[in-house]
Structure 1
Amino acid sequence: MLFDVDYLARQLLMDVDGDDAGTLLRSWPTMVAAAEDLWASLPGWRPGVDERDRPMTSLAAQAATIEASLAGRKAWPGQGPTNPRLEQMTQTLISAAALVRRYGAEIPHEQPEAHRDLEAARARIMHGLYLTAHAVNVALHDNGRDRVNDARESGRRVHLAQHHSPYAVAPTGAWLDRMTACENTAHSYLSDRFAQALAGVAIRPVEDPSRLTQALANWDIQSHRALACQLEPSNILLITRTQGLIAGASMVLVDAAATAGILEPSDRLVPAIADAGRSWSDLASRWSDLAPPGARIQEPLSRAAAEVRAAYRQMTHDASTLVSPEVIAGRPGLPQAVTATLRAVEAGSELAHVVAEKADNRNLTGSARTLSRRAHNDIDSGMVAAPPEGDVVWVSPADILARRWVPLPKPVATALRAASAAAATASGAASRESSLHLPPARVGGIPSDRGRGRDSRTHAGWRPLGATKSRGVTL
């Protein structure tokens, strides 16, 4: 669960912008309170005694001050929606605290292994807060920069700040000071400790070889259910990001399977999956422009995506480190995991076509400022042909100044459809390559190639674990 919080915080930091500043600031105190509650629930905690707890106590006090200031203000950011990603992290921390309180008494925390694992948990909690605080600071900085640019475009004079950043202008400057203090407090705990603490995390052996198979099957169901419902860009954003993650993890597992002798080496399979992963990631960046800051993701879809991440990490990582193919090759359940991930890549082609259909919706909207930048960037990069009339103002300056949500400009809509088509094409190529390396389906215990168009006895690419080859024939 802490890995999931860390992952979400990293995702937040990668695509945060100025429009997120208000929602992030309102959500920050609640997240810190949940983290403090989890921290206090860990076995061996004694309030006010241990020096290591002081940064968390100080961070909680700073967040409480921010919350009190927000409650008493009518000026920006005022009352309004909170950030769904911070809410998801907060709920995960709350659930983790409930589990620790329920089972924490069973942990012999005096033992060295348990003590090191608890230290790793504390470091992971603080690291999630550190990343999130930095993301809030980035959003506040971008918000201030947008305000400065708007003032310059309207001919108004603006006084740049003299500390932190020239864009720490009112009303964001005071909040930048407070969030910088929070970030520094979290950093003081992690400094010279984070890597050492994570090295002591207790790694449980893989007890359920079918976990990845079940996670990917549930993901396939939930993603199709989400796409069958009313169009929600936030859901499509999560779907495209998770498909990119599946492609990246699949390359790791395929490499390990080739090392273990489960799959025949192929010079086309991994490049095809890599191309599909890049296409999914590019498509995700475009849908992120269309996801409203306060949009909520369907909980079953969110849980399914989190389980996919956790199941892959169990196969490919030790603590925070991606292990070598040789280590993965020795882990139990690798044949099932490889089969499941190849089937997920194979099924990605159909999912890409469904997502592409959503790109044709004429009611899609996005932030005026973001879409204006995207339109000009797509033309400059050659993704969309430049208009014959020359430079065009695709989004009204008044809409940008008022931070309105507007329909997609023509270049953005065209590029979104092109990126969707590219993802469908790349996923189709990866699907075909994956199907060639899948084991034959079994019907009633008898190998079957129904729908594959080839003889299962000469199945290409797949070799059961422990099989040997003689005279070019798989035995």
Structure 2
Amino acid sequence: MDADRRRGFADVDDALFDTTQIPLTSRDIRTVGELLHDIDHTARHLLMDVAGDDAGRLLHGWPDLITAAASLWSSLPGQGFGAGAHTRDEPITRLVSVADAIGRSLRNTSWPPASRPDRRMTQMTRTLGHADDLVHRYGADIPLQRTESYRDLEAARARIMHALYVTAHAVGVSLHQHGHSRYQAALGSNRPIELSQRHAPYAVPPTTEWIRRMAVSEAAAGRYLDGRFTQALRGEASRPIEDDTRISRALAGWDIQAHRTLASDAWPTNMVLITRTQGLIAGAAMVLVDAAHHAGHLEPTDRLSPAIAETGRAWSNLASRWGDLTAPDARLDPDLMRTAAEVRAAFRELTHASTTMASLDVIATRPGLERGTRATLHALESGSELAYVIGEKAHTPGLTGPARALSIRAHNDVESTLANPHPNGDVVWISPAEILARKIVLAPRPVVESLLIASALTVESCNRACTASLCHAVTTELGSPTGDDRRLALSEQRSEVVPGTSLARNHPIPR
């Protein structure tokens, strides 16, 4: 009996020693091109998420970002190579000059007050520094005499400048929103603010000079990109896929790191990144499943894709709600950011062309589709357990967040009947004084109620996607009946766990 039990455990533990499943948890394996894609990705998210309260921290992060970008720019091989090299380098020189002036002014001004740089700016600066290190180490090996090498270098410069252009615009938008808030707050006072007649209407003191300097930076980057960006990106080199296990290793590393972060004290500040990445995995799963159907690796089904789409929407909704609970100056876990970036890079290598999403015909012919689809479906199955853990975190007492965001969310949830109204009718959940002072306050009852509901819906949708994945008919290329039975048994074990229990006690987190 004991021998049979030991053999049973050995069968289950075989996967632990599969070399294709061992995650790289200690180093970043992304290329310079993938790092530049990540910087562009972060800049675009910054532009979508920026708010007026971010203006001061964004300004504090701008000089360091430009310094890192200029260092990478000067490290790229081929400086002074080709016609128009001097003209090509003028914009980055101009950006450095303006950023230096901003840095000096920040040390001698009352607004914005001294603070840490915005975490997204810090992330972009760190990524640029990593790319700079790679170029310093391997740049001498690039054959500059080849036309494709020169075009790839020009594409890299265009990527850098585009990220700076989008970021400068985001800082300008934040400054305008800050000016608009100051104008609205002064309307009911004895000292109304006069709108600007020379600049944009809400370029009001003390933001006027900052808006002017960021507009100069944006214009300098825009002049470089005008008529050049799309043409330069056509010359971007893409290496062939040589490692068909990258997605599985990236997802295994992400699952480990996500659980480590959730077990730490810093989990509230990292919840948005965790939930957004889970939503990205669901979105990538839809693309890979469609491509696998197209290639004949999966049998057509009407159940799997809708379940995955519902899961992606649930994760995105949950990410939005945790975003309201995140302090503006929160610091993200660097290891979590790295593993999330590796997941994005691994999926992009398979699903994208140089500038856009690749067609299903192209994805279907790429090596790694079978392994990538299987690993992504496995990630959907394990995502149900992660949803349970995040659901437990929603029950944590004393959740806090920025007063303005929580006030808006509370009133919206009551009006949309997602949360129960106050017994006394319409009430002010957070005082105007706390909103004006930009305080971090306790989450009001409607916010907590709707967060719990959103967490439960995410768990439910993840379980449905897991069931659809396990029950889906898979061809011999993607999995064996034995593997399906094993995954079904693991799913049944997960379904016995109910929200409110401590998953960390039952599932030790690797260290």
Check whether TM > 0.5: yes
* Pair 1:18-2:52 in alignment: yes
Match of 2:300 in 1: 265
Q: In the aligned structure 1, how far is the partner of 2:442 from the partner of 2:420?
A: 20
Offset of residue 4 of structure 1? 0.7
Which residue identity lines up with residue 132 of structure 1 in the other structure? T
* Pair 1:449-2:485 in alignment: yes
Q: In the aligned structure 2, how far is the partner of 1:104 from the partner of 1:26?
A: 31
* Pair 1:65-2:140 in alignment: no
Q: Select 1:380's aligned residue among 415, 432, 435.
A: 415
The equivalences for 1:459-470 within 5 A come to none
Which residue identity lines up with residue 183 of structure 1 in the other structure? E
Q: Is the 8 A contact 1:289 1:370 kept in 2?
A: yes
Q: In the aligned structure 2, how far is the partner of 1:337 from the partner of 1:419?
A: 29
Match of 1:113 in 2: 148
Match of 2:30 in 1: none
Cα distance per residue 1:348-397 (max 9 Å; x no partner):
11111111111111221111111111112222233223334332111111
Match of 1:80 in 2: 115
Offset of residue 46 of structure 1? 2.9
Secondary structure of the residue that 1:321 maps to in structure 2? coil
TM-score by length of 2: 0.85
Which residue identity lines up with residue 340 of structure 2 in the other structure? A
Match of 2:448 in 1: 413
Offset of residue 208 of structure 1? 0.3
Q: In the aligned structure 1, how far is the partner of 2:485 from the partner of 2:112?
A: 60
Offset of residue 403 of structure 1? 1.0
TM-score by length of 1: 0.91
Match of 1:158 in 2: 193
Q: Select 1:43's aligned residue among 77, 80, 98.
A: 77
* Pair 1:283-2:283 in alignment: no
Secondary structure of the residue that 1:169 maps to in structure 2? coil
Q: Is the 8 A contact 1:4 1:306 kept in 2?
A: yes
Offset of residue 159 of structure 1? 1.5
Secondary structure of the residue that 1:217 maps to in structure 2? helix
Q: In the aligned structure 2, how far is the partner of 1:447 from the partner of 1:78?
A: 58
Which residue identity lines up with residue 304 of structure 1 in the other structure? T
Match of 1:468 in 2: none
Further displaced range: 269-278 or 11-20: 11-20
Further displaced range: 310-319 or 355-364: 355-364
Q: In the aligned structure 1, how far is the partner of 2:223 from the partner of 2:55?
A: 24
Secondary structure of the residue that 1:142 maps to in structure 2? helix
The equivalences for 1:179-218 within 5 A come to 179-218=214-253
Offset of residue 451 of structure 1? 5.7
The equivalences for 1:253-402 within 5 A come to 253-402=288-437
Further displaced range: 428-437 or 57-66: 428-437
Which residue identity lines up with residue 225 of structure 2 in the other structure? L
Q: Is the 8 A contact 2:116 2:329 kept in 1?
A: yes
Q: Select 2:91's aligned residue among 55, 63, 66.
A: 55
Match of 1:7 in 2: 41
Q: In the aligned structure 2, how far is the partner of 1:250 from the partner of 1:274?
A: 9
* Pair 1:32-2:66 in alignment: yes
Q: In the aligned structure 2, how far is the partner of 1:21 from the partner of 1:438?
A: 52
Unaligned runs of 5+ in 2: 1-34, 491-511
Q: CA RMSD in A?
A: 2.0
Identity value in percent: 54
Q: In the aligned structure 2, how far is the partner of 1:78 from the partner of 1:389?
A: 40
Offset of residue 23 of structure 1? 0.8
Offset of residue 122 of structure 1? 0.4
Further displaced range: 212-221 or 404-413: 404-413
Q: In the aligned structure 1, how far is the partner of 2:472 from the partner of 2:188?
A: 57
Which residue identity lines up with residue 170 of structure 2 in the other structure? A
Secondary structure of the residue that 1:366 maps to in structure 2? strand
Which residue identity lines up with residue 327 of structure 2 in the other structure? P
